[in-house]
Amino acid sequence: MHIGEFADKKVLVVGMARSGVAAAKLLASAGIEVTINDSKSADELGDALKPLEGYALDRQLGKAAMECLEGKDILVLSPGIPDKAAFVVKAKEMGIRVIAEIELAYEMSDGEMVAITGTNGKTTTVTLLNQIFLDAGFRSQAVGNIGYPYAEGVMGEKTGDRYVCECSSFQMETVDGFHPRAAALLNITEDHLNRHGTMAEYTRLKMRMFEKQTAADYAVFNGDDPALAGLDGQVRSRTLFFSRKGEVENGCFLRGDTVVFRLDGKETEIIDRREIYIPGPHNLENAMAAVCLAMVSGISAESMAQTLRTFKGVEHRIEFTRELRGVRYYNDSKGTNVDSTVCAVRTMDRPTVIILGGSDKHCDFTPLAKSMLASDNIREAVLIGVTAQQIEDTFKTNGYTAITRASSMEDAVKKATDLASEGWNVLLSPACASFDMFHDYEERGRIFKEIVRSL
């Protein structure tokens, strides 16, 4: 870890969620003058501030960030704060440098970092690649949007450390020097339009991950996603592609059932696709993206194949929870947008009751309705949350009418259980954010699992 340009600077960290707390902790541990701010008071923040006990900080809590800008050199933002917020605009006008927590962590780190973004599959691919590095004998940490702040990882950094950083579009609003040696864009589908406004802006922010790359670096793209067509022409780095549907010149593809990596004409067979533990075509794509990043990071095919055979996925992502009276329950609370839930629908191989609904991200549920109609397995839908009426209207317009409404998660699980028969699945995959009823998708998933286990 090094202090770099943060030496002798006065830094304001706004937003005392996990990333903000980690940023303040990292800066204070390096002896940098730090002010922390949140619109909530210390009492309201409660245990969230416990990691900062014992650090010398100027605590400006329970007040507007606009009141804390004077005299500051750098403003560090939590990802939940948009770069268009009035105090952020004012800070820029005052000449204050505005950066994301992952930018701060990257600049203070001496470790090697690879990065992954996309609308769906980020967390699975990040966790898988991190496990590939660990199994190959490296000290590695999965950081960023995955829920473990990059700044927290840098706190205990040792020589030779690696980081696999999950990048969100929110975080990409305020990066400038962020420079992964290798990075992958998994896919782009409609999401977060309530914040970014247009798909063009959402795509632009995803592409910012590659901005600082050079010809010595690698950019990995999904060759099967039409939304990514032509984006490889915007990067200066070497481009690799992964594809389930056809061979690529450089990157990862299928030859029959064999996953193959090719670079500059040299081919390496990795694994038979049927040996990959995590199920579904979307997870095959995630595995192929991880293969590309691992190969250019010097990992052997034998080592990564062993990880692919044993990696069991991540919590809240089509996570098997329990089987009761022949009914299997799956927690896919991380299905926070339409395309993610479509992937879960395609993975179901038995009759299924799906629990849908949550807070509104201004997305169209028509593709989900069509996917459910095309599936032989999605027999019933139980709807909850703010978007329940919107989903019901969209489904009925498209001809899907097997709909039940529920008032809470507990009610939804009860009704789904009543609808399911032996040999069926109950799948929580909301296609929506969680903020209407829960703190985040993780809390939603945990509560679902608690209810299921109490049945």
In the chain the domains, ranked by start, together with CATH numbers, are 4-100 (3.40.50.720), 109-310 (3.40.1190.10), 319-454 (3.90.190.20)
Q: In whole angstroms, give the CA distance from residue 85 to residue 93.
A: 13
- pLDDT attached to residue 268: 98
Distance of CA 36 to the CA centre of its chain: 26
- pLDDT attached to residue 197: 63
Cα angle vertex 90, ends 11, 146, to 5°?
Answer: 55
- pLDDT attached to residue 313: 86
Q: Could you give the 3-state DSSP secondary structure of residue 122? A: helix
Q: In whole angstroms, give the CA distance from residue 180 to residue 172.
A: 13
- pLDDT attached to residue 5: 86
Whole-model pTM: value is 0.82
Closest of 313, 19, 357, 330 to residue 168, by C-alpha: 19
- pLDDT attached to residue 339: 87
The DSSP secondary structure of 338-351, one letter per residue, reads HHHHHHHHHH--S-
Which residues of the chain register pLDDT less than 70? 190-197
DSSP secondary structure code for residue 16 in this structure: -
CB 77 within 8 A of CB 98: yes
- Do β-strands 258-263 and 266-272 pair in parallel, antiparallel, or remain unpaired? antiparallel
Up-side HSE of residue 362: CA atoms within 13 Å toward CB? 8
- pLDDT attached to residue 119: 86
172-184 pLDDT tens trace:
888 999 999 999 9
- pLDDT attached to residue 360: 85
